[in-house]
Structure 1
Amino acid sequence: MSDLKLGLALGYWGAGPPPGLARLVTAAERLGYDSMWAAEAYGSDALTPLAWLGATTRRMRLGTSIVQMAARTPVATAMAAMTLDHLSGGRFVLGLGASGPQVVEGWYGQPYPRPLARTREYVAILRQVLAREKVSFDGEHYRLPHPGGSGLGKPLRSTIHPLRPHLPILLAAEGPKNVALAAEIADGWLAMFYSPYDDAYHRDALQEGFARRGATPDSFEVTCRVNVELDDDVEAAADRVRPMLALYVGGMGAKGANFHYQAFARMGFEAECARVQELYLGGRKAEAAAAIPLAMVEKVALVGPREKIAEELAAWRSSLVTTMLVSGDEARLAAIADLVHG
C-alpha cells in the first residue's frame, strides 16, 4: 500500500525516563509522523507517558503497544482509555496484549494459562463499558459483579460518556491463533517480528478471523515495529539489530514458551533460533547476537544504504502493514520520513 504511515515507537523506560522525549515527539509530529506508541513491561507504564506527551502534540494519535491485560482489570483499562481519549480530543488507540507467563505470573501474580480465552472476555467487557451498558459478565476468567463477598455488588454503568464509543482496540499477536482472534474481535493487529516476505500464514489467520466475524471490516489497522538502520556497511547496520533479536529469540520467555523464537522458526530459522537460545541462556549474549544471520535480520528489519532500504520498502508497502513503528533521534526520524514519504 502506498500510504504507509509512520509511528514513533517510544517503548518503555530503562532505569528512568529518556531525556528529550517531549522534543522528540514534537519533532516527529512536525515530520509528519501519524502516531506515537508507548509500551510497558515491569517498570514504566504505557499510559502515563502518553498523557504527558500527548499534551505537547495536536495531531498525532496516542497508542499503547502494549497495555498488559494482567496489569489492570478490564474496567480499569476502559476507564483509562476513555479518560485519555477525552483529554486528547479523540486521539487514543488502545493496544492490548497478554504478555508472557514470566511477567504475568512473576510480576503481576496472575495466572497465565488460556490467554486467548482471557483476551476474548477482556475485550467483551471493554466493549460493554464503552457502550455505557451496565457491566455484567459471567465468564471463566472475569465475573462482574463479583460473586460472593458482601453481596452488595451490582452492575454499574460508567459515569462518563465515552468521546468515541467505538474507540479503536488493537491486539498484539504473533501466533496464528492470536492473529485470527485479533481479526475476529478487534479493530487492528499489533504485529511484532512480521516479515513481508513470509506472511502467508498471517494472511490466512486474518481471513479465518474475519470469517468468524462475519465480514471483513472496512478498515483494519496493522502496526509493526520495524528497525531501520541506515549505513553503507550492511553488516554494520545489521550488528545494531542483532543484540535485540538475540534478546527476544534467546532470552525473552522461557525455553519452550518463547513466542518470538517460534515466530522466526516459522520463517525457516529454527536451527538458528535453537543455537541463539542456547548461547543466550548460557550467558554468552555477545555470541548469541553474532549467531544471528544477516538473512534473519533482513526478514524483519531495513538495514544498509539508503538505496537498498528504498528498494526494500516496496515489499512493506505491499504488505499487510498500515503503520510502521520506528525509533531514533530527530535526524534518524527525518531520514526515515524522507525514505517513506519522499
Structure 2
Amino acid sequence: MKLGLQLGYWGAAPPADAPALIAAANDAGFSAVSTAESWGSDAFTPLAWWGALAPDLRLTTSVVQLAARTPAACAMHALTLDHLSGGRFTLGLGVSGPQVVEGWYGQPFEKPLARTREYVRIVRDVLARAEPVRNEGPHLPLPYQGPGSTGLGKPLRSITHPLRADLPIWLGAEGPRNVALAGEIADGWIAVFHSLRLAGLYEEWLGEGLARPGARRTRADFEVVANCQVTVTESDDERRAAVEFLKHVQAHYIGGMGARDVNFHANLFRRMGFDAAVDEITARFRAGDRAGAAGAVPDELVDEIAVIGDEAHVRAGIAAREAAGVSMLLVGCRTVEQIEALGRIVGSASPATGLSRN
C-alpha cells in the first residue's frame, strides 16, 4: 500500500503547517502529496509552490474540476508542472456537481460523462503534440464556432514540448457509469470515499470499463486511489474525538454538498446502506441544525470510510483496503507525528523493501 498526503482544498485560510507536513511525508516514505479544489483555493498553485519541498514525492491533484478551466488550459497547467517537477505530476480530474458547475463556474452540467470523455481526449491530444488540436465533439469544440465566434479560430499545437506525452490521468468518480469511464479512459480512479462493503461492485464497474475496446490499462497496472482518513489513536478518548470530528465533515458532504435531490455523495452513502441516516442528516442540515446533522451520522458510517484506532486496528484496516484493490490511500494527516506513525506502520508491512514511491 502506498500513502499520499492529502492537503485538500483550503477552508477559510491556507494550512499554516503544510511545509512541515510535506517534509515529514517525504522523509516517512509517502509516495505522493495531493491537493484539491472546490470553490475557493485552486489545486495547481499549491503544488507549484510546495512541490520543491518534496523531491521524492509524486505531485497529484485529487481533484481539479473540469468546469474550472478549458481542457487546453488544464493541459498547459499539467505539462508545466510536469516539467518543473521532473516528471512527477499526475493529473486528477473530476466533474463536481451541478451546484458548483452551474452556480460557481457558470457552465452547463448536462451530459457529464460525454463532456468528460471529450475533455480527457483534448488534454491527451495537447500532451501528445502530434498535430494541431481539433475536437469535433458537441461539448468542447475546437476551434470554437458557436455564438459570438469570429470564424478566425485556428487549430494550434503547444509551443512547449511536453515532458511526457503519457502523463498519468486519474478520474474522480462515485457512480457506476463514471467509475467504468475511469477504467476505460484513465490511468487510475480516485474514490472520494471508499467502502469495503462496495469493493466487489467497484471491481465490477472498473472491469466493465477496462474491458472496453481501446481501454488504456489492464487491472494490473490501473491505480485505485482512495481518500481515507487514517488516524492512529492511543486511547478511547482520542478515538472518540477523531470519530466526532469526521461526523461533522460527513454531515457537510451528505447534507450540504449538493442539492436536496441531486447529491452524489449522499447517493454513495445510500449505496452503502445508510438510507435512513442520509435522510435524517439531510433534513437536519438543511434546517440549519448542523450539530444535529453531525449527531445523526452513525459510528458505523465513519468506520466504513475511515480507519481510526490503535496501531493494530490501523494496520488491519489498511491491509483490508489493499486486499480490496486499493493501491494508494490519500490520508489527511495534520500532524508530523501522525505522518511518522503511518510511515512506520505501512513501511513495516514490507520490511524488505519499505514503501514504494512509484
Which TM class, normalised by the smaller chain length? Answer: over 0.9
The match for 2:207 is 207
Contact 2:3 2:331 (C-alpha < 8 Å) held by counterparts: yes
Deviation at 1:93, TM superposition (A): 0.4
Equivalent residue of 2:265, what SS? helix
The match for 2:223 is 221
Deviation at 1:266, TM superposition (A): 0.5
Pick closer, same or farther for the CA change 1:49–1:202 going to 2, 3 Å: same
Kindly provide the CA deviation profile for residues 54-74 of structure 1, in whole angstroms up to 9, marking residues without a partner as x. 112211000011111101000
Q: Stretches of 4+ moved more than 6 A in 1?
A: none
Residue 105 (structure 1) aligned with residue 111 (structure 2): no
The match for 2:17 is 20
Match 2:66 to one of 42, 64, 69: 69
- 2:228 maps to amino acid: V
Residue 50 (structure 1) aligned with residue 56 (structure 2): no
Equivalent residue of 1:144, what SS? coil
Q: C-alpha distance in 2, partners of 1:313/1:229?
A: 11
Deviation at 1:311, TM superposition (A): 2.4
Kindly provide the CA deviation profile for residues 81-131 of structure 1, in whole angstroms up to 9, marking residues without a partner as x. 001100000000000001111111111111111111100010111111111
Equivalent residue of 1:241, what SS? helix
The match for 1:127 is 124
- 1:203 maps to amino acid: E
The match for 2:325 is 320
The match for 2:356 is none
The match for 1:262 is 267
The match for 1:166 is 166
Question: What is the aligned length?
Answer: 339
Deviation at 1:223, TM superposition (A): 0.9
Equivalent residue of 1:222, what SS? strand
Residues 158-197 of structure 1 mapped to structure 2, 5 A cutoff? 158-197=158-197
Kindly provide the CA deviation profile for residues 236-285 of structure 1, in whole angstroms up to 9, marking residues without a partner as x. 43212111111111111111111111111101111111111111111111
Q: C-alpha distance in 1, partners of 2:205/2:3?
A: 25
Deviation at 1:214, TM superposition (A): 4.8
Greater Cα shift, 310-319 or 248-257: 310-319
- 1:112 maps to amino acid: F
Q: C-alpha distance in 1, partners of 2:106/2:72?
A: 19
The match for 2:351 is none
Q: C-alpha distance in 2, partners of 1:297/1:13?
A: 22
Q: C-alpha distance in 1, partners of 2:80/2:318?
A: 37
Contact 1:38 1:64 (C-alpha < 8 Å) held by counterparts: yes
Q: C-alpha distance in 1, partners of 2:264/2:244?
A: 23
Contact 1:229 1:240 (C-alpha < 8 Å) held by counterparts: no
Equivalent residue of 2:330, what SS? strand
Q: C-alpha distance in 1, partners of 2:5/2:20?
A: 13
Residues 242-261 of structure 1 mapped to structure 2, 5 A cutoff? 242-261=247-266
Equivalent residue of 2:53, what SS? coil
Equivalent residue of 1:177, what SS? helix
TM-score relative to the length of structure 1: 0.96
Residues 240-319 of structure 1 mapped to structure 2, 5 A cutoff? 240-319=245-324
Contact 2:228 2:305 (C-alpha < 8 Å) held by counterparts: yes
Q: C-alpha distance in 1, partners of 2:309/2:105?
A: 40
More relative contact order in 1 or in 2 (CA 8 Å, sep 6+)?
A: 2
Residue 5 (structure 1) aligned with residue 11 (structure 2): no
Percent identical among aligned pairs is: 51
Contact 2:117 2:185 (C-alpha < 8 Å) held by counterparts: yes
Contact 1:94 1:169 (C-alpha < 8 Å) held by counterparts: yes
TM-score relative to the length of structure 2: 0.92
Contact 2:197 2:272 (C-alpha < 8 Å) held by counterparts: no
Kindly provide the CA deviation profile for residues 2-45 of structure 1, in whole angstroms up to 9, marking residues without a partner as x. xx000000111122221121222111101111100011111111
The match for 1:331 is 337
Gapped regions of structure 2 (runs ≥ 5): 349-358
RMSD: 1.3
- 2:136 maps to amino acid: D
Contact 2:51 2:59 (C-alpha < 8 Å) held by counterparts: yes
Pick closer, same or farther for the CA change 1:237–1:304 going to 2, 3 Å: farther
Deviation at 1:317, TM superposition (A): 1.8
Contact 2:37 2:65 (C-alpha < 8 Å) held by counterparts: yes
Q: C-alpha distance in 2, partners of 1:80/1:236?
A: 39
Deviation at 1:235, TM superposition (A): 3.6
Equivalent residue of 1:48, what SS? helix
